[in-house]
Every structure is written in C-alpha cells, then in structure tokens.
C-alpha cells in the first residue's frame, strides 16, 4: 500500500535484509541435508548463520565437523552475502535486471559505503563485484598452489572468501595454527584480510590512481612536451583521496603497533619458549592483522597473557575502515577521536586529522559512535555475566571477566577470535552474542542515524552554567 512506503526507509531496509538472510540460513543449516551426522540444534544453526552473515567467525560448533559439504557451502554463501552487504547485493540484482533503482536503495547503499552521494551507483557496484571476485579468485589460486594436497579446491576457495570477507571461518578445528610458520600462506591470508578490511572504495581509489598514472605515462611517451610548456593534465599531482590516505595510514600504523605490542607482551610467555624468533615475529604480525578484522588464529588465544589479550581487545574494538567487511568503531573514528584529544590538549577548537579540519558534526558523530559502542559492550558483558555466572561467587564463577569481555568485544567488532568460551555458553548466552553480532555488523552509526530521524530540534536553549570536572 502506498501509505506503508513511508516505513521502508534506508535504515529499515538493511535490518530486514539481514534478519531475513539469517533466518533462511538458520533454517537451511538446521536441516538433515546439511548435517554430517545428527541434525544441528536450531540455536547452534542460528548462531552459525548469524556469525556467517555478520562475517564474525565465532562458532558454537565446528563448521567442518557437524556440517557436510552442503552445509559448508551454505555457510560459504552466507559469508559472501555478508561480506558484500545484503543491501548492496539486492541493489546489484535490481541493476542487473534493468530495473529502476529507487532512491531508498541508493541511499541505503551509500549509507553503508560511506561514499559520495554523487557517485555512479551501477558502475561502482559492477566494479565492486569484479574487485571482490578478483581478490577471492587470486587468493584461492595462490593458496591452492602453495599446498594442493592439504588445501584442495573447496578449502582454498572457502578460506580465500572467508579471509577477504573478514569472516574468520577456517576449514580446520585449530583455525590456522598449522600454518603459523608458513610465510607464504600467512602473507596470502594477511593480504586478503587487509584488502577486505580497508574497504571497496579505497581499493577502487587505488586502482583509479594506478590507471591515471599509467595513462599519464602513456601520454608523455606519445607526445613528449618541452619542459617550459608542460601538459597541465600531466603536471597535476595524482594522489589518493583524503579518506583513502587516512584509512591506509591508520591501517599501517595499527598493524605495526599491534605487531610490536603483541611481540613484546608475549616475549616472556612460557607457552612460547623454544619457538624460533622468526616464527614469533610471524605470529605477532598475523595476530595484529587478524585481530582488527578477520578472527583467524595461528595460536590458542587462551594461552596469551592477559596483557596481550587486552591489546587484542583494543585492536578488535577499533576494527577496519568504513565501507569494508570489517567491524569495530572503524579506523576513521579512531583517528577523529585521537585528533580531538590532541587538539583539546593543545587548546585548539578544531579537530585536525592529517592537516585537515574535521567538521564538528563529523566529530560529534564519532564521539556518539564511540559512546554507543562502549555502552553496547558493557551491557552485553553484564548480561553474559548474569546468564553464565549467575549467583556464583567471584572465586568460583565458571567464567572469568576477561574471557566474557573478550568474547563480547569479538562479537561486537565482528572479529571472531575466541578464548574457547563461546561453545560453552548457554542458549541464552548464545542468543545474546547473536544480538551483539547483528548490532556490530549493522554498525552503531546506523543506530545513531536511525535515532536521529526521530529527533526534534528544540525551540529554545537552556542557560549555561559552569561545573567542576575531575
């Protein structure tokens, strides 16, 4: 009915698409046709479907043990849909069928991609799918030829898709522990994780710069000009856009800082005595990369020190870049918050990031996002402590605070790293984590923007009053 169209907004559409996909995936995974043995309980099927669509990687059961190849293929399809974004996928289907893309679909995609509203949606979606298939195909080929017998075609494809979509599902029970000293496989997986974590827009921007530089080089070779009369198109500087530079520089900083931090914090860990130095470096590098976005593990996370786990929590909470398959508060939010702190300490009123002032409304949105994320994590941690530890005294509680806190942040940031707590949770605890994963995937920005649709500007202002702080 025409009167109901008002409620189909760019903010309702993603929720409906995600919930519908999760429901369908849960139903399929609970069927006998997908089970390797006894049918999987519906709660576990729901958890795996939610984790796959939200590209998290947390698992209440081992996917490659309880599901047959049909069930594994369903999980793979859910990961791919979640990685691309359900709304983006729907809009692409409309475009390929030649239908008119409605404004609400265009706005929904742009909201998820954090992109300029003037861009060509159809062209961008086509390029995005090409980029995704290019990376995933290249990754599968590289992984297969590294170890054809140990991988096989399906496992290579599954791992490549899971890595690029930052899902964290692996074909082995120990995740990627058996590959922790294989530099080739390690760098292939890390490359896919980083590519999927920086976002489709950044990758497209990189390709655009490369194409522009190649075109300029060809023009110069075809028509060399004297130095005193340079071609204006050749003389202008070709560089990445501001957002891409921020995303890439922050990603590089977090990888380097995370690698150094994890390596130093685990230097004296008795669990790693006898492990060669080169292998320790690779483990630290891989954990730094995977902690922010993907959730693969080359070591048992329960063997890390509490300090290293806390460092991992910080990396997970920050997450990847906007418009990517990663979760967390995003790298740009982290840079804005850091810029705000630095400028406040300097006594400046503007928020400056990489030589550019950030508009106040963007700064406010970043702070609201950070606050909402913190409140979500606190509320979910509290809820899990109630459902799992109940009235047990602190010294005899089944789960430690750090273990529950780690799982909650991993779910919220859609990372998927675990200290082996998730399979032990009650049905209520698993449902709580399902909700946290869904909120983390949709993003606090979406929630804040939705709330703002119902806000009414006040018709008056209150008088100001000073108050001591600290």
Alpha helices for 165-305 (secondary structure H): 183-198, 200-222, 232-235, 242-265, 277-292
CATH topology of domain 1-119: Helix Hairpins (1.10.287)
Chain segment 390-429, per-residue pLDDT in tens: 877 877 788 899 999 999 999 999 999 999 999 999 999 9
E strand segments, 392-437 = none
Q: Pick from 91, 120, 125, 94: which is nearest to 108 by CA? A: 91
Q: Is the pLDDT of residue 235 over 50?
A: no
Whether the domain at 1-119 and the domain at 337-453 fall into the same CATH topology:
yes
Closest CA to 181 of 279, 115, 251, 96: 279
151-179 residue pLDDT tens: 889 999 999 999 999 998 999 988 898 88
Cβ count within 10 A of residue 180? 20
Reported for 229-238, long-range contacts at CB under 8 A and 24+ positions apart, including other chains, are: 238/209, 238/212, 238/213
Q: Please report the DSSP string for 334-382 in residue order.
A: HHHHHHHHHHHHHT-SSEEETTEEEPHHHHHHHHHHHHHHHHHHHHHHH
Q: Which long-range contacts (CB under 8 A, 24 or more apart) does 396-401 make?
A: 398/424, 399/424
Q: What is the mean pLDDT of residues 241-246?
A: 89
Q: What is the CA radius of gyration of the chain?
A: 23
Range name among 106-120, 376-390, 448-462 with the lowest pLDDT average: 106-120
Mean pLDDT of 330-355: 87
Separation of alpha carbons 188 and 197, rounded Å:
14
Specify the pLDDT at position 318.
Answer: 94
- Give me the CATH code for the 337-453 domain, please: 1.10.287
Task: Convert the pLDDT of each residue in 31-87 to its tens digit.
Answer: 999 999 888 999 999 999 999 999 999 999 999 999 999 999 999 999 999 888 755
Q: Say if residues 147 and 159 touch (Cβ distance below 8 Å).
A: no
Domains of the chain, residue spans? 1-119, 120-217+239-327, 337-453
Beta pairing partners, 351: 358
d(CA 444, CA 455): 17
């Amino acid at each position: 009915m025409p009167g109901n169209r008002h409620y189909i907004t760019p903010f309702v559409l993603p929720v409906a698409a995600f919930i519908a996909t999760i429901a369908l995936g849960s139903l399929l995974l609970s069927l006998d046709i997908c089970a390797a043995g006894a049918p999987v309980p519906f709660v576990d099927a729901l958890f795996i479907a939610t984790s796959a669509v939200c590209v998290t990687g947390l698992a209440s059961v081992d996917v490659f043990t309880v599901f047959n190849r049909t069930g594994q293929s369903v999980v793979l399809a859910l990961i791919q849909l979640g990685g691309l974004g359900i709304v983006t996928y729907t809009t692409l289907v409309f475009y390929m069928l030649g239908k008119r893309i409605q404004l609400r679909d265009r706005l929904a995609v742009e909201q998820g991609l954090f992109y300029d509203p003037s861009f060509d949606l159809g062209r961008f979606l086509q390029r995005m799918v090409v980029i995704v298939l290019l990376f995933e195909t290249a990754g599968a080929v590289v992984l297969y030829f590294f170890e054809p017998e140990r991988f096989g075609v399906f496992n290579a494809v599954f791992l490549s898709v899971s890595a690029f979509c930052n899902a964290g599902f692996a074909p082995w029970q120990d995740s990627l522990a058996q590959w922790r000293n294989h530099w080739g496989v390690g760098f292939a997986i890390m490359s896919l994780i980083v590519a999927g974590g920086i976002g489709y827009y950044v990758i497209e921007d990189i390709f655009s710069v490369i194409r522009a530089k190649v075109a300029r080089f060809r023009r110069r070779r075809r028509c060399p000009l004297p130095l005193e009369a340079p071609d204006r198109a050749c003389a202008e500087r070709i560089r990445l856009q501001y957002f891409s530079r921020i995303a890439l520089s922050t990603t590089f900083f977090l990888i380097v800082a995370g690698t150094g931090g994890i390596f130093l914090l685990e230097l004296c860990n008795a669990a790693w005595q006898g492990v060669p130095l080169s292998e320790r470096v690779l483990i630290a590098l891989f954990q730094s990369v995977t902690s922010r976005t993907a959730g693969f593990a080359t070591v048992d996370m329960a063997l890390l020190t509490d300090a290293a786990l806390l460092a991992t929590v910080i990396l997970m909470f920050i997450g990847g870049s906007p418009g990517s398959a990663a979760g967390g508060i995003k790298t740009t939010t982290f840079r804005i918050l850091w810029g705000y702190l630095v400028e406040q300490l300097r006594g400046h009123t503007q928020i400056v990031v990489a030589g550019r002032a950030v508009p106040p409304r963007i700064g406010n949105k970043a702070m609201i996002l950070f606050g909402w994320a913190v409140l979500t994590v606190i509320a979910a941690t509290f809820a899990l402590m109630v459902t799992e530890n109940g009235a047990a005294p602190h010294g005899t509680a089944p789960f430690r605070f750090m273990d529950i806190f780690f799982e909650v942040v991993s779910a919220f940031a859609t990372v998927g790293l675990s200290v082996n707590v998730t399979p032990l949770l009650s049905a209520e605890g698993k449902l709580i984590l399902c909700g946290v994963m869904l909120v983390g995937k949709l993003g606090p920005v979406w929630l804040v923007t939705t709330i703002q649709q119902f806000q009414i500007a006040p018709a008056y202002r209150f008088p100001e009053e000073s108050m001591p702080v600290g």
